[in-house]
Amino acid sequence: MEDARISDLRARIDTLNLDLLRLLSERAEVAEAIGRVQSEVGLSHYDPVREQRMLDALTDANRGPFTDTVVKSLFKQIFQASMQLEEQQDKVKYLTSRHSQSADTVVTVGDVPIGSQYAPVLIAGPCAIESREQVEAVASLLAERGVRLFRGGAFKPRTDPYSFSGLGEEGLRIGREACDRHGLQFVSEIMDASNIAAFEEYVDVLQVGARNMQNFTLLRAVGRSRKPVVLKRGLSATIEEWVMAAEYLMAEGNDQVILCERGIRTFERYTRNTLDVSAVALAKLETHLPVIADVTHSGGRRDLLVPLTKSALAVGADGIMIEVHPNPAVALSDNKQQIDFEAFDRYLAATLYDTKLTAKRTELYGF
């Protein structure tokens, strides 16, 4: 039998616990409200001066029985918990974030699932669509090899304004016809929001190129489309900037977003760009979106295609993009790095990239 005095006192403690919980929750809600305003105006959640003032006010008011040190350490715990809440709140608002969606997004192009546990996809084709014959040659080879996604640019972003910049809408038509003939899904780069209607008509996947990663008007227009999107990482974009660009797409309602690491500009000159494999892994950790790697534009070297592919797949890439051309020597763009059909077959053999595989990636790679 418990002493009646203890039971009474314990009952008071129980009530006080509930009062404290109510006050703590109320305090947390106010802290969240402050956090929202801080995020809105771009202020940091952590304000050491304010924190010190609150601790001073508490120790001034403290009449015991807890010592000032104990009061401070109790309240520091409360401050820290509030801060975590504010930070969590920041992340949850981003649609791309793992905090808002823990399950992997699977983007389905036609009947091809990309992401999560599915076997890595291969997106192959010429840098630019140059002619009906060229596209037919590549598309028929790819289809024969079991590739499901064909890439080819009709609107090409070029450094030199006098160089070949694509066949435009006619290129899209050529690509569409070849893809229909061979049961392929068509991926092509959109450079300008004004072309969205044509892309809606001819293309299965809208590609936003590296140079346009922060073209916010284009991102919003593509975000309003319901076509899947491949979003390339900008030439010098941080992972955060890249993910925020994806956020633009998702904020407009397009949740079919595939991130594509395509190499970033560094001091290195042996390669055209530096494939950032850590970005592939990080993008998969931080976001729930599928992440692929473009091994052609990243290294800019044919002799790196196999090792870069293997490294990207090893860190969890959900697919690879590669450029294939019937006769790269005469290609109208990127003629130094596209590969011909024989090299493509060697590439498939060397990377063990069996495009006909339907096995889940976990069965293929053990992770």
Which residues bind to ligand PEP, rule: CB under 6 A? Answer: 127, 153, 157, 189, 209-211, 232, 262, 294, 297
Q: Report the residue number, 48 or 161, with the smaller CB distance to ligand PEP.
A: 161
Give min distance, CB of 230 to Mn ion, in A: 13
Binding of Mn ion at residue 294 (CB under 5 A)? no
Q: Can you name the residues that pair with 188 across neighbouring β-strands?
A: 206
When the beta carbons of 35 and 175 are compared against ligand PEP, the nearer one is: 175
Residue 316's binding partner among Mn ion, ligand PEP, none (Cβ under 5 to 8 angstroms by kind) is none
232 binds, among Mn ion, ligand PEP, none (CB under 5 to 8 A by kind): ligand PEP
Closer residue to ligand PEP, CB minimum distance, 93 or 336: 336
CB of 38 to ligand PEP, least distance (A): 36
Q: 286, 238, 302: which is closest to 265 by C-alpha? A: 238
Query: What is the smallest separation between the CB atom of 317 and ligand PEP, expressed in angstroms?
Result: 15
* Rounded to 5°, angle at Cα 124 from 119 and 128: 155
Considering only residues 162 through 191, tell me which ones interact with Mn ion, judged by CB under 5 A. none
- Residue 300 CB, shortest distance to Mn ion, in Å, is 9
Question: Which pair of tokens denotes residue 200?
Answer: 């809606």
Retrieve residue 142's tokens.
């790819």
Integer CA distances (angstroms), 116 to 93, 120, 122, 298, in order: 22, 9, 15, 23
- Cβ-contact 292, 260 below 8 angstroms: yes
Binding-site partner at residue 313 among Mn ion, ligand PEP, none, CB < 5 to 8 Å by type:
none
Helix (H) or strand (E) holding 306: helix 305-314
**Shortest spacing between CB 177 and ligand PEP, in angstroms:** 20
Partners of 189 in the beta sheet?
Answer: 207
DSSP string, 206-222: EEEPGGGTT-HHHHHHH
Rounded to an integer, what distance in angstroms lies between the CA atom of residue 129 and that of residue 145? Answer: 20
Evaluate whether 198 touches 166 at the Cβ level (below 8 Å). no
State the Cα–Cα distance between residues 171 and 198, nearest whole angstrom: 11
Least distance CB 322 / Mn ion (angstroms): 10
Q: Is 334 among the residues that bind Mn ion (CB under 5 A)?
A: yes
Question: Half-sphere exposure (CA, 13 Å, Cβ side) for 98?
Answer: 8
Query: Least distance from C-beta 171 to ligand PEP, angstroms?
Result: 12
Number of residues assigned to the chain: 367
Q: Which residue's Cβ has the minimum distance to ligand PEP?
A: 209
The residue written with tokens 């924190």 in the block is: 51
The interface partner of residue 325, options being Mn ion, ligand PEP, none and the CB cut-off 5 to 8 Å by kind, is: none
Q: How many residues bind Mn ion (CB under 5 A)?
A: 2
Q: Which is nearer to ligand PEP, 191 or 250 (CB)?
A: 191
94: left (phi over 0), alpha (psi -120 to 50) or beta: beta
Considering the complex, state which of residue 158 and residue 310 has its C-beta at the smaller distance from Mn ion: 158
- Cβ count near 112 (within 10 Å): 19
Q: How far is the CB of 338 from ligand PEP (least distance, A)?
A: 10
Of 95 and 280, which CB lies nearer to ligand PEP in the complex structure? Answer: 280
Q: Does position 127 bind Mn ion by CB under 5 A?
A: yes
Is there a contact between 322 and 299 (Cβ–Cβ < 8 Å)?
no
Span near Mn ion by CB under 5 A; candidates 73-81, 83-91, 127-135, 174-182: 127-135
| Residue with smaller CB distance to Mn ion, 204 or 334 | 334
Q: Which does 288 bind (CB under 5 to 8 A by kind): ligand PEP, Mn ion, none?
A: none
Please identify, using beta-carbon distances, which residue of 262 and 361 lies nearer to ligand PEP. 262
| Exposure on the CB side of residue 259, measured as CA atoms within 13 A | 37
Give the footprint of Mn ion on this chain (CB under 5 A).
127, 334
